Amino acid sequence: MPQSTDTPDLFTPLRLGAIELPNRVIMAPMTRSRAGAGNCPTELTADYYAQRASAGLIITEATQVCDTAQGYPNTPGIHTDAQTHAWRAVAEAVHTAGGRIVTQLWHVGRISHPLFQPNGAAPLAPSAIAAKGQLYTGAGMEPFPMPRALETDEIPALVRHFADAAKRAVFDAGLDGVEIHAANGYLIDQFLRDRTNIRSDRYGGSVENRCRFLLEILEATAHAVGADRIGVRLSPTGVFNDMGDSDPLPHFLSITQALNPFSLAYLHVIEGRPGHHMAPPEGAPHVAAALRAAFKGPFILNGGYSRTDADATLAKGEADAVSFGEPFISNPDLPLRFRTDAPLAEADRNSYYGGTAKGYTDYPALESVAA
Ligand code: PHB
């Protein structure tokens, strides 16, 4: 697709690797905790995403790559045949509705509980450092448990799980690609940042070592499905899930530079706008602009953007696209509403996680719009 040389706006088409987007209003990944038996997406999941097919790209909720990857109730996986089959129905529904959809692949690492682990084992992590705080198990809140530090020789199997999940996603389920979730304090991010990675093997210590797990995952997934169907998500300054890093700007610049040789479909960075729950804490550096300059590929920003913020961000060249989370929950036709300056519906927070069609597939699209 020829890219316009004019200043882009949210409605300028964009190519992300192998995926052609008709607009730059991307649906951000959001956990909705409505998977069915066996952590399979359901017909409701297919309806939900199909209703949002006018997004330039849908990035699904985070999806487990293996049976140690889960940390919340009713989040979907893509490591069993039944899950893969169920994702196929989601992909078909979105494609039939004219959309594009990639699935976000995650392993939660220490953000889990023995209740979610095979045989009630401790969750896995780069280092035995428990997150401060509590997690929701489905039966109430529990303190985060002490995770078990992975042995060096356990890591290749985890890398393979990401590659196998990517293969299932693209070749078996027919999704358009995958986003590797390396953000928000989950397993890959736990390797990247020095607050959670104090390993002394080749996966810890220097930033080169801390990003080895991510790079091995990218090598394996790119080999499996092609780098032009793979995006990566980073949250360099986020503190969600008790995260932190001693020097995020140089560390994440190195990590971003290490991504360049892969020619990925995109890099997706969360650096929340002021007041957003994923905003860098008071006094913390902002690094997104430096990562944008360092990354040689399409760059997506996320974190509480309004339509006006997003327009300004694209006009200034600070990103190629913006992803929107909560607005997509309550406005299935968000691109149309932006294009026509229609009012946005408010999302009901009480129905974000779990439950039924209520607060999931019952937000109406605009029936008609004044010309
Ligand atoms: C969440 O379920 O709260 C959640 C999941 C994935 C994220 C961030 C938050 O990346």
Q: Which domain holds residue 338?
A: 14-370
- Distance between CA atoms of residues 295 and 257, nearest Å: 6
Residue 1 forms part of a structural domain: no
Q: Does some domain include residue 156?
A: yes
Kindly state whether residue 4 falls inside one of the protein's structural domains: no
The residue whose CA has the least distance to atom 4 of ligand 1 is 31
In the chain, the number of structural domains is 1
Domain assignment present for 301:
yes
Q: How far is CA 248 from CA 59, 108, 182, 186, 203, in A?
A: 25, 21, 14, 17, 18
**Within a domain: 286:** yes
- What distance in Å separates the CA atoms of residue 314 and residue 305, rounded to the nearest whole number? 12
Just list the catalytic residues.
Answer: 186
**Residue 189 domain-assigned (yes or no):** yes
Q: Which amino acid is at 313?
A: T
pLDDT means per 10 residues, the chain with 371 residues, are 72 98 98 98 98 98 98 98 98 98 98 97 98 93 97 98 99 99 98 98 98 99 98 97 97 98 98 90 91 98 97 97 98 98 97 97 80 42
In ligand 1, which atom is closest to the CA atom of 62?
6
Q: How confident is the model at residue 5, as a pLDDT? A: 59
111 pocket-lining for ligand 1 (C-beta < 6 Å): no
Give one DSSP letter per residue of 269-283, joined into a string: EE-PPTTSTTSPPTT
Give yes or no for residue 252 CB within 6 A of ligand 1. no
pTM of the model: 0.97
Is residue 6 one of the residues assigned to a domain? Answer: no
Question: Which domain CATH number covers 213?
Answer: 3.20.20.70
- The residue nearest atom 3 of ligand 1, judged by CA position, is 31
Predicted local distance difference test score (pLDDT) of residue 367: 78
Phi, psi of 221 (to 5 degrees): -70, -35
Cα-to-centroid distance, 186 and ligand 1 (Å): 9
Alpha-carbon distance of 232 to 222, in angstroms, equals 12
Determine the pLDDT at residue 4. 52
Residue nearest to atom 2 of ligand 1 (CA): 31
Residue 3 belongs to a domain: no
